[in-house]
Amino acid sequence: MIRDRLYYWERPMVTFAVENTLFRVPRKQFEQSPVFRDLFSLPLLGSQAEGSSDDRPIHLESINKDEFRSLLMVIYPENSERKRPDSQDEWLSILKLATMWEFDDIKERAIVESTKEMSQKTPLERIALAVKYNVPRWLLDAYTALVQQDNPLTRNEVDALGHETVYQLLQLREQSYREVSRYGNRYGSRNFQGVEGKIVRALYERFTDIGYRESIDTIPEPLN
């Protein structure tokens, strides 16, 4: 094991092992997570406790050291080489760990920061992230993009979305044309007024499946 040069404190705190690297950091900030708070409350104390030394670190599986460093950059900004993460990939890594370990405040911040570049991802990528991290606004933005796009849905999109979702989205797309022709506007124009509310009402179950608790007539607030 090698000691990470940024996140390894000399005074006893808590020691983590991620891949081949040891991280030693103040324990207090990790107690904001109920996952770690429960771990720290286990009766085994002193030199035998997990995280008490390099010989007995807390092994963090299923993550890599770069993801962990990104999270530590937010938890301990005063000890970071950079003031803040500067890429969406870093913020998504932070979101992954904050969700896993229930750092609720950090999760909210990571969602807002990740949203800033979310439009660069495809609708399917946004839907996958919305479902993975329970972000209703990302789901709404992705569905809206699919309704408003000029190109027909691809086979990949149809297979990923499922037939019921595709049916509802196509109904809304068709409705955007009918509402224009009703008022005598030229063919090819489309009216998307109120489309977000229509999407929520048509696909409300998709939103509740990822934790949306507002009424069917409420639109998830923008995150920008």
Q: In the prediction, which pLDDT does 3 show?
A: 82
Sign of torsion over alpha carbons 205, 207, 211, 213: negative
Q: Are residues 105 and 26 in the same domain?
A: yes
Question: For residue 30, is it left (φ>0), alpha (ψ between -120 and 50) or beta?
Answer: alpha
Sign of torsion over alpha carbons 142, 148, 153, 159: positive
Q: Are residues 91 and 183 in the same domain?
A: no
Structurally, how many domains does the chain consist of? 2
Q: Are residues 181 and 127 in the same domain?
A: yes
Long-range pairs of 128-133 with CB within 8 A, sequence gap ≥ 24? 129/92, 130/210, 131/209, 131/210, 133/95, 133/96, 133/99, 133/107
Q: In the prediction, which pLDDT does 118 show?
A: 94
Q: In the prediction, which pLDDT does 1 show?
A: 86
Q: Is residue 66 part of a domain?
A: yes
Q: Is residue 132 part of a domain?
A: yes
Q: Are residues 13 and 93 in the same domain?
A: yes
Q: In the prediction, which pLDDT does 6 show?
A: 76
pTM to 2 decimal places? 0.85
Long-range pairs of 61-69 with CB within 8 A, sequence gap ≥ 24? 63/18, 63/96, 63/97, 63/100, 64/18, 64/19, 65/4, 65/18, 65/19, 65/20, 65/21, 65/23, 66/93, 67/93, 67/94, 67/96, 67/97, 68/16, 68/18, 68/23, 68/97, 69/4, 69/6, 69/7
In this prediction, the residues of the chain whose per-residue pLDDT falls under 50 are none
Q: Is residue 9 part of a domain?
A: yes
Q: In the prediction, which pLDDT does 182 show?
A: 55
Q: Report yes or no: 144 and 129 within 8 Å, Cβ to Cβ.
A: no
End-of-domain residue from the set 115, 142, 157: 115
Calpha distance 77→106 (Å, rounded): 13
Q: Are residues 194 and 169 in the same domain?
A: yes
Range of the domain at 16: 2-42+53-115
Q: Are residues 83 and 134 in the same domain?
A: no
Q: In the prediction, which pLDDT does 74 show?
A: 95
Q: In the prediction, which pLDDT does 134 show?
A: 96
Q: In the prediction, which pLDDT does 45 show?
A: 54
The CATH number linked to 110 is 3.30.710.10
